[in-house]
Amino acid sequence: MPSYTPMIQQYLKIKARYNDCFLFFRLGDFYEMFFDDATKAAQELEITLTSRDGGAEERIPMCGIPYHASTNYIKTLVERGYKVAICEQVEDPKTAKGVVKRDVVQVITPGTVMEGAMLLENENNYLASVDKAEGDYMLSFIDLSTGELYVLSVNHFDRLKSEIYNRPIKEVVVSDQLTDKERMTLSDELQLTISHHQLPETIDRASYGDLLVNISHQSLRQAIIRLIHYISTTQQRSLDHVQPAEEIVLSGYLGLDMHSKRNLELTETMMKKGKQGSLLWVLDQTVTAMGGRYLKKWLERPLLDRQALSERYAMVEGLLDQFIERESLRDDLKSIYDLERLSGRVAFGNINPRDLQQLTLSLSRVPTVKETLKTFHSPYLQAIGEALDPLSDLRGLLEQSLADEPPMTLKEGGIIKDGFHAQLDDYRDASRNGKQWINALEQKEREETKIKSLKIGYNRVFGYYIEVTKANLHLLPEGKYERKQTLTNAERYITPELKEKENLILQAEEKSLELELQLFNELREQVKAYIPRLQQLAEKVSTLDVLQSFAVVSEQEGYVKPTLIKEDILEIVGGRHPVVEKVMTDGMYVPNDIKLNSETNMLLITGPNMSGKSTYMRQIALTVIMAQIGCFVPAESATLPIFDQIFTRIGAADDLVSGQSTFMVEMLESKHALEFATNNSLILLDEIGRGTSTYDGMALAQAIIEYVHDHIGAKTLFSTHYHELTSLSETLTQLENVHVSAEEHDGEVVFLHKIKPGPADESYGIHVAKLAGLPGTLINRANVILQLLESNESEQTTNNVKEKTAAFELASQKVDEEDVKNNAEMTILQTDDQLSFFAETTSTSKNKKGSRVEKKLKQLDLMSMTPIDAMNALFDLKKELQKEE
């Protein structure tokens, strides 16, 4: 780089080490960016792009931001998935020989932000690491702002995606063990920032021992080490607040794949991607930031532990029964700041005096919380109160050392309380008395010179000075004043006496600030020792906050305590959808019942569009989830088993990122349920098959129903518009037909939103179109066409369905049990007239186009294909037929 100036050469050398980051290069009071960084940053941050001479023939693109205002600019870049490398001057420019030494002191990424302004108060901000060994995936993730560290393993990439999606993970550190396709999936489909990090061969694994104390599996330990090493490399800060890793054993929690979390809108809505309208929005009556994050974690990991859930119910009940005490507890909790993130800032070294004041105020409320908890009758609440550590020693230290109203920054002074340190008191006394002497000297000089406008001022360049207007210069005695500066309308002077006092005052102030900074750093180091106790306190306070939130919302919305049983029975009386009920302003929500047991574990739900089928299905799942996080549920009564997993296919939308149609998304989500569900799972399937032609959809829907019924045995709700499927209740012993009722009066349909036994009479599709406001002429024409179709409908259609069902059963009998397990939902393809494009291409099967599709179909080895392979093949054949037509 001989053509560039030494400074630009320095920039390029540092930039080469951080190619995937914006390099914020410190020059004086600005962070500057050059070359491509400048061009891109100017666009992203909407700042002016300029240029400078860098020694080359062409000027170099350049943009910059003030270092004191950098937080908001960094936040903007990080929120958009970028990384920012902070390059500071690491030597004093006054003593530097040549170019000032600079180096990167921190890399800020979406997963490593620590500044409060960049973090959402009620949400964790996770950085994750993914490793792969022997076909299993190890996922380790940490919230650097709180020090929480977790690790888990899964045996399938789809499950890895779900675990990442179900948590607020912003960035994933990967190694070369992951394939390019897997990395692209994490980046594009899950919209994550991907960071590559290889561990050095000489890494000292023993130094990570404290974090790995609870982890025995070597692969899990490796994932944690990669994650922590990446953080240490990029942050170059203390990680004393990071807690020992906790292994999440997924078999101990209710399984929720990414599709279920999205479809059920647990933490955000599908359309607006916001909290309002989600289950979290309904349940969140927490009053602390810690409690808000804890509630979300509980929603992400519902429990399977019956005893732990019973204890949570008991505490919610105790809080419900004592309103006055509960309100007192809420008031106490409101005064407690974010202990978790305050601890993180202490360890990270970016805590300010105001933060420590918040910590002091928080600790002062803990004794009150303990006393309030003693007044509850619940022994579980009393036990939490007894276990609360008030950290009286830390509180005493902070109250003794910290000023009552400390400043935000360390440069202002006034951090340490008077009387805490004798030397500091001496400096302060000299400074304060010196300023009083300055005021006295000003008054004395005015009296002696008779110049009323004479004043003594101060600036950093000249120090203290005596200022006299030019109109009064003739009043000054000769020989006493030494001219220092000439202004337009005044002269500035000094005297030996003033200079002597100036030295005393400035030295006292400078030494006072230096000593205060030293004392504050020592205080911060002392607080570090209390971090584990602070984190334990934060956990208990968070638990209390979530439980009182459950009590408040249960009282407000009329929720009841569920009964958990070991028998295979799900019975909800007067169940309601918690979100829909809350947003309804007329208070006219129609409750519904459900009863499933070992004799009836499937409901086939029919009824018109907009009648409430999807709402009914969702409310069952949400009731289960609420029960398994320890909350009361929206019903008159609820008797529930413990479910191990919930699978949903609700709603229809193309996956534009992956280039998959509605039908393909539908099949993939159905496949996930068929592959992983057990007889202890809950499956919700809404309108399966609507993304393809009628016969295709009906065939797949029936095959899926039969497969779940015969080979999984899970509690299942299956809604459909294929009324022909209601006949399955005659052959499937554990399936029952129900429908959402509607009534027609004078040509107008009224949806009753009530679930009743038996199949629906009709779909009322044209009535729904009318409600949607379609033109009247169009509605009238649709009615005419419907009458024509109904009048021309022959019994042959019904007979064809029966024949196709019989053919499917015959084909199923010809394969052994294992083949049925793998291919039952697709064996329907073996009947020549089962699918619509067979039945509808009688006239075209003789031409070349039809022959080509048929030839491809005959080449398929259906019996060796997995269900999803068969679905994909069917989808491709259908697309080819559509193109040829």
Binding residues, by number, are 607-614
Q: How far apart are CA 135 and CA 152, in angstroms?
A: 14
Count of other CB atoms within 10 angstroms of residue 883: 8
CA angle 585, 588, 589 (to 5 degrees): 100
Residue for token digits 């002062």? 364
Residue 63: name the closest of 107, 17, 23 by CA: 23
Q: How far is CA 222 from CA 169, 568, 730, in A?
A: 19, 41, 55
Q: Which residues contact 86 (CB under 8 A, 6 or more apart)?
A: 24, 26, 31, 104, 105, 106, 107, 108
- C-alpha span between 746 and 267 (Å, rounded): 43
Q: Which residues pair with 466 in a beta bridge?
A: 456, 493
Tokens of 795: 């019994």
Query: By three-state DSSP, how is residue 884 classified?
Result: helix
CA–CA gap between residue 634 and residue 277 (Å, rounded): 16
End-to-end CA distance of the chain: 63
Task: Please tell me the distance from the alpha carbon of residue 433 to that of residue 431, in angstroms, as a whole number.
Answer: 6
CA separation for the pair 553, 547 (Å, rounded): 10
**Strand ordering across the sheet containing 645-649:** 255-256, 645-649, 682-686, 715-719, 602-606, 735-745, 748-757
Q: Is 367 helix (H, G, I), strand (E, B) or coil?
A: helix
Is residue 553 within 8 Å of residue 330, measured between CB atoms?
A: no
Cα(247)–Cα(214) distance, integer angstroms: 8
CA distance 87 to 635: 58
Separation CA 182–CA 308 (nearest Å):
37
Does residue 823 contact residue 811 with C-beta atoms inside 8 Å? no
Residue 830: Cβ within 10 Å count: 17
Which pair of tokens denotes residue 365?
């409320």
The Cα–Cα gap between 777 and 839 comes to 33
Which of 883, 884, 835, 824 is CA-nearest to residue 857? 835
What is the Cα–Cα distance from 419 to 401, expressed in whole angstroms? 9
**Known binding-site residue numbers for ATP:** 607-614
